Structure 1
């Protein structure tokens, strides 16, 4: 475990890491940053490829992170950094004293689908159609992981998965949950060709209540853009158009809340049929 010290924000490595605060930099380098003891610990414990850890030289490294680092299977560069350096790499008003550089994990969609289909009878997917708000996406991923969703597919035009606010909102779920970025109509066609059920969340006049749907053991739920809803291409492909009834005066539910209601109802219905 190599360790060094960096105090200047002009250091070439710090300039490179600073680029990871932007989507362009993350895509160019194939890496992203996580900030805070909890996320760094989750990255280490999950087996993610953590490349670099920078911690506040005046506060020392969080003890739990240090233990997780000692058990980490990969070699990690450890840097004792000044407060100014950590502020340079932080998106929060109050830097949390520890930042990690993590390599993006590439999972092949076709291989993953083949393995999943062969290894289990049922599957539950969540398809996200141009979710724009980072907090919504992060909360959806956290909820999906908690609900036992097998995988999440981000449609093109969605917010960057590795956006800092997304990462903070996931509370580490991203390190455990398979997430893919693909064309949703193509995924829907492939899914249905394999016998999967497609449920599309929409306020369309022909939609039925979310709790009246016979969720199949192999089901995919589509959640739409916060303002425009689900695209016409996905509505056309739906096996069921579904909605969550509104009993008060609100026009609709937050996308993350709606996703949570749908995936837990799907799990409830699917589990009841196995009892």
Structure 2
């Protein structure tokens, strides 16, 4: 199938899409870019609103993306583009030959959490000012793999639509409910729903992660890479938990810690 071809980086569409590489552009347009055949395929398969796909004119459109596109409920504009155009829209050293423009989606927290109230053993992850894009993307990927019901991203955290975050999720962001909200207020709402809040902290009354009570509806709080959990969230804790360090390291990477906590919670529930 023949598609429109764009070869100039000065093309108005290319200029508009290039703005999506910055947070300001993403916020103004309500859209973001995904790069690489796997992520484009995952976006299409998940039902995300993919509006535009640009692929390298020297290659054919990836077969898996073609199949996903054929089954996609909404029409997307498919355009062949020059290597220079794709390089203009890429944040990686080696452009992967395909990018897609995706509309942001906004789930309603109140409606979603009301439905979750029916679940006896809900598991949420609260992220308190996570700054590193790689960490956030890895946490979301791990949370989705571990069966976490949803993630609440605190104000001041890195933009979930940052290109590095999107790539690190490996498609998990299209399947996992993620909300950006004020964490302390959200914790209060969670408690009103009968949930408990477990906060990662080395305080004196903190218990080891393998001794914590993960039963019922819980939210696990992971803190900032440098400062840890904020005072506001420490005051919301029903229980403090920590991961013992047996070597000389002073702390664990936030994504590693989150993975240990969520998998221990799930192991504990299945025991």
- TM norm structure 1: 0.97
- Residue 155 of structure 1: how far off its partner (Å): 0.3
Ranges in structure 2 where 5+ consecutive residues have no aligned partner: none
Corresponding residue for residue 3 of structure 1: 3
What TM-score results when the alignment is normalised by the length of structure 2? Answer: 0.98
Asked if 1:175 corresponds to 2:174, the answer is yes
CA distance in structure 1 between the aligned counterparts of 2:231 and 2:32, rounded to whole angstroms: 33
Tell me which residue corresponds to 2:183.
184
* 2:18 corresponding residue in structure 1: 18
For 1:158 and 1:122, how far apart are their aligned partners in 2? 27
Partner of 2:64: 64
Contact 1:197 1:216 (C-alpha < 8 Å) held by counterparts: no
Report SS of the residue matched to 1:237.
coil
State the distance in 1 between where 2:193 and 2:37 align: 42
Q: Which position in structure 1 is the counterpart of 2:133? A: 134
- In structure 1, the partner of 2:99 is 99
Tell me, yes or no, if the aligned pair for 2:117 and 2:193 is still in contact at 8 Å.
no
Alpha-carbon deviations, 1:80-126, whole Å to 9, x = none? 000000000000011000000000111010011112223x2221000
1:13 is displaced (CA, Å) by: 0.6
Distance 1:100 1:65 in 2: 11
Is residue 224 of structure 2 the alignment partner of residue 225 of structure 1?
yes
Cα distance in structure 2, aligned partners of 1:186 and 1:216: 22
Asked whether 1:271 is paired with 2:270, we answer yes
CA displacement 1:224-268 (0-9 Å, x = unmatched): 000000001111110111100000110111000000000011111
Q: Find out whether 1:149 has 2:148 as its counterpart.
A: yes
**Cα-Cα RMSD:** 1.1
User: Partner residue of 2:33?
Assistant: 33
Aligned residue pairs, count: 271
Aligned to 2:54, the other structure's residue is in SS state strand
Structure 2 residue matching 1:113: 3-state secondary structure: helix
Query: In the aligned structure 2, how far is the partner of 1:263 from the partner of 1:121?
Result: 17
Residue 2 (structure 1) shift: 9.0
C-alpha distance in 2 between matches for 1:5 and 1:71: 23
Which consecutive residues of structure 1, in runs of 5 or more, have no partner in the other structure? Answer: none
Distance 2:255 2:168 in 1: 11
Structure 2 SS opposite 1:262: helix
